[in-house]
């Protein structure tokens, strides 16, 4: 009786306040019922199919509707990540066995959800479009859920499963869509969110799409794809290449690898002893074992596979133009954006001498030398890496922020310079993807006994900014250092440093202005 009275009191308080209802660990969505796992104030639902398995005759076809199930489907474990030759540093490595049957989505939601519905964040993983998955430990969504955000992650087809062109595919589906099957998966996942997230306490009209590296490039693709318009209302782009031409085209010229989507597909088919461009050739390709399609392709081998793999491509339906061309023309979704990069981000430079490093700057070589090497150390490796990362990621992220601000939308630029305490004796700066454990605040399980109070504080700070942006369109609040919206006149960003977050004028403005002058446009 005492327990009943306590339950009654709680129910009455909830009804009177109108602000809280209990979220169940069993929900019903379009395709059937799910049973999740409740732990530490969070209910997680993992391994939910959002499309039919893309196997057999569905290999290299747009995602098809999922087959509904009867009864209650357990949603306690991740579904298989997509086919790949795994290669990732510790903490970013998938923990499932890859499979071609991989189109699964995951949801973390508070065990007590607010009314009206909660904001939603949808995560797209990186991995050069060849690696990654929803099971990566760094991407656990529990901490976002504890802050009142419904966190969604999903898998999308990778490598030759996700990005593949061939004349036989063009003949099979002459009107498309073709080539970008991984992007089609992303659009299908976003549509699933629109249709189903209310069952988990989320608001389909308050969706923030975010991703890093290839995931950030995917966010840019979604912002500029005619097929993704209206499926999300805000975006966060982390360390993404935003300057074209960086992708293959299904037909014609345009790839950094000097390949087209179809010629790469023909090259792959030839490597497997499959010739011709008819239905028989396509049937033979679809019958290849999944491991044979992967053929060792991953982040480390992709540059050796330029004759058999083209990556994302302009297909004319899903992707109609390069990201920078779209932003320059104002064709992108007009939504609030956060974008930035790390201070020792990714870049590729094969220059052997300082003149070779500085050659792209043309008549501005002396200005570039002063900006990149003010102490005249003549360290070709260090300066070359800085020039390369600025060109590939840092300046392109500033470009995106500038274009968003110019379109009249709030834009916030960041730089991540924080190095975890245990690495500071050996690591000079924040490398590519090093911000992710702090964004998700998964530092405690990932760092273990190497975790410091400073690391914990930075995790709380970053997830605080990201979740506040999801809730309000403004990352500020809760006593965090002020992060001003970007304006080209002030050129202010927020830097996540070893001493905490601080905003101010970008100290790299001169070198990024010089880099901007070297940027070509398609």
247 and 276 inside one domain: yes
Q: How far apart are CA 305 and CA 284, in angstroms?
A: 21
pLDDT at position 96 is 96
Supply 385's token pair: 């890496």
> Which residue, 142, 188, 162, is CA-closest to 100?
162
286 and 386 inside one domain: no
Distances (CA, A) of 286 to 36, 169, 290, 294: 35, 11, 9, 13
389 and 489 inside one domain: yes
How close are the terminal C-alpha atoms of the chain, in Å?
73
Q: Is the dihedral of CA 359, 360, 365, 370 positive or negative?
A: negative
Instruction: Report if residue 269 sits inside a domain.
Output: yes
Say which CATH number the domain at 353 has. Answer: 3.40.50.1820
Q: How far apart are CA 390 and CA 360, in angstroms?
A: 13
Parent domain of 412: 342-522
pLDDT at position 244 is 76
The answer, yes or no, to whether residue 7 has pLDDT greater than 70, is: no
- Out of 3-12, 36-45, 76-85, pick the least confident: 3-12
Q: What is the DSSP letter of 495?
A: E
> Which residue, 320, 311, 214, 325, is CA-closest to 259?
311
pLDDT at position 111 is 83
358 and 496 inside one domain: yes
> Which secondary structure element, helix H or strand E, spans residue 154, and what is its range?
strand 150-154
- Inter-helix orientation angle 261-271/279-286, to 10°: 70
Residue 314 CB partners (closer than 8 Å, separation 6+)? 247, 248, 249, 250, 254, 320, 321, 322
10 Å Cβ neighbour count for 297?
A: 25
330 and 376 inside one domain: no
Residues of the chain above pLDDT 90, percent: 85
- Out of 81-85, 150-154, 301-305, 415-419, pick the least confident: 301-305
Supply 480's token pair: 């965090």
Residue 52 CB partners (closer than 8 Å, separation 6+)? 58, 63, 64, 65, 66, 67, 103
pLDDT at position 245 is 65
Query: 317, 335, 353 — which closes off a domain?
Result: 335
285 and 429 inside one domain: no
Residues of the chain above pLDDT 70, percent: 92
Identify whether the C-beta of residue 61 lies closer than 8 Å to the C-beta of residue 179: no
10 Å Cβ neighbour count for 207?
A: 24
Q: How far apart are CA 32 and CA 250, in angstroms?
A: 38
Instruction: Report if residue 211 sits inside a domain.
Output: no
- 425-465 pLDDT, tens digit per residue, is 999 999 999 999 999 999 999 999 999 999 999 999 999 99
Instruction: Report if residue 506 sits inside a domain.
Output: yes
pLDDT at position 119 is 97
3-state secondary structure 163-175: EECCHHHHHHCCC
Reported pTM: 0.94
508 and 367 inside one domain: yes
425 and 505 inside one domain: yes
The answer, yes or no, to whether residue 6 has pLDDT greater than 90, is: no
114 band by pLDDT with thresholds 50, 70 and 90: low
- 470-520 pLDDT, tens digit per residue, is 999 999 999 999 999 999 999 999 999 999 999 999 999 999 999 999 986
417 burial type by CB count under 10 A (0-12 exposed, 13-18 middle, 19+ buried): middle
311 and 384 inside one domain: no
Instruction: Report if residue 458 sits inside a domain.
Output: yes
Instruction: Report if residue 22 sits inside a domain.
Output: yes
Instruction: Report if residue 9 sits inside a domain.
Output: yes
415 and 518 inside one domain: yes
The answer, yes or no, to whether residue 109 has pLDDT greater than 60, is: yes
pLDDT at position 14 is 36
Give the chain's mean pLDDT. Answer: 92
> Which residue, 68, 39, 34, is CA-closest to 51?
68
Instruction: Report if residue 392 sits inside a domain.
Output: yes
pLDDT at position 140 is 98
The answer, yes or no, to whether residue 186 has pLDDT greater than 70, is: yes
Query: 294, 315, 335 — which closes off a domain?
Result: 335
Query: 273, 305, 335 — which closes off a domain?
Result: 335
How confident is the model over 145-164, as a mean pLDDT?
97
Rounded CA Rg of the chain? 23
Number of domains in the chain: 2
The number of residues in the chain equals 522
Instruction: Report if residue 212 sits inside a domain.
Output: no
318 and 361 inside one domain: no
> Which residue, 48, 24, 52, is CA-closest to 37?
24
385 and 290 inside one domain: no
329 alpha carbon, distance to own chain's centre: 23
pLDDT at position 17 is 35
Q: How far apart are CA 181 and CA 318, in angstroms?
A: 9
248 band by pLDDT with thresholds 50, 70 and 90: low
Helix (H, G, I), strand (E, B) or coil at 229: coil
How confident is the model over 219-241, as a mean pLDDT?
97
Alpha helices in 334-433 (DSSP H): 354-358, 365-372, 380-389, 395-406
């Amino acid at each position: 009786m005492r327990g009943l009275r306590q339950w009654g009191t709680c129910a009455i308080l909830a009804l009177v306040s109108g602000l809280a209802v209990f979220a169940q660990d069993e929900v019903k969505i379009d395709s059937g019922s799910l049973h999740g796992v409740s732990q530490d104030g969070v209910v997680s639902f993992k391994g939910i199919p959002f499309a039919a398995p893309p196997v057999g005759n569905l290999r290299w076809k747009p995602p098809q509707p999922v087959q509904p199930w009867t009864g209650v489907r357990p949603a306690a474990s991740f579904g298989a990540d997509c086919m790949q030759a795994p290669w990732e540093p510790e903490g970013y490595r998938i923990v499932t066995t890859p499979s071609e049957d991989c189109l699964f989505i995951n949801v973390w939601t508070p065990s007590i959800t607010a009314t009206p519905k909660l904001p939603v964040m949808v995560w797209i993983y990186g991995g050069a479009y060849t690696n990654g998955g929803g099971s990566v430990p760094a991407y656990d969504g529990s901490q976002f859920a504890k802050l009142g955000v419904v966190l969604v992650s999903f898998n999308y087809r990778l490598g030759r499963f996700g990005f593949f062109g061939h004349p036989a595919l063009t003949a099979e589906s002459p009107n498309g869509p073709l080539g970008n099957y991984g992007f089609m998966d992303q659009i299908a996942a976003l549509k699933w969110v629109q249709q189903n997230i209310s069952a988990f306490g989320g608001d389909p009209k308050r969706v923030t799409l975010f991703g890093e590296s290839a995931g950030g490039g995917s966010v840019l693709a979604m912002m500029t794809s005619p097929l993704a318009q209206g499926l999300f209302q805000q975006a966060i782009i982390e360390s993404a290449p935003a300057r074209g031409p960086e992708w293959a085209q299904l037909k014609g010229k345009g790839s950094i690898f000097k390949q087209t989507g179809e010629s790469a597909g023909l090259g792959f088919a030839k490597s497997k002893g499959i010739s011709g461009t008819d239905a028989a050739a396509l049937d033979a390709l679809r019958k290849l074992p999944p491991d044979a399609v992967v053929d060792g392709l991953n982040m480390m081998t992709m540059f050796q596979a330029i004759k058999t793999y083209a990556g994302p491509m302009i297909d004319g339906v899903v992707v109609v133009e390069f990201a920078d061309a779209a932003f320059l023309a104002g064709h992108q979704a007009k939504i609030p954006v956060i974008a930035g990069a790390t201070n020792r981000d990714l870049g590729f430079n094969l220059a052997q001498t300082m003149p070779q490093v500085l050659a792209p700057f043309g008549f501005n070589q002396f200005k570039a030398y002063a900006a990149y090497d003010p102490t005249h150390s003549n360290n070709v490796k260090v300066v070359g890496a800085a020039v390369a990362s600025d060109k590939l990621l840092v300046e392109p992220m500033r470009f995106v922020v500038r274009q968003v601000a110019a379109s009249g939308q709030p834009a916030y630029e960041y730089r991540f310079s924080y190095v975890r305490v245990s690495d500071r004796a050996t690591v000079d700066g924040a490398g590519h993807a090093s911000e992710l454990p702090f964004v998700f605040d998964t530092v405690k399980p990932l760092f273990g006994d190497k975790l410091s109070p400073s690391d914990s504080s930075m995790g709380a700070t970053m997830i605080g900014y990201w979740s506040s942006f999801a809730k309000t369109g403004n990352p500020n609040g809760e006593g965090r250092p002020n992060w001003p919206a970007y304006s080209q006149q002030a050129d202010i960003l927020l830097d996540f440093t070893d001493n905490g977050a601080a905003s101010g004028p970008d100290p790299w403005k001169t070198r990024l202005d010089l880099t901007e002058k070297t940027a070509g446009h398609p």
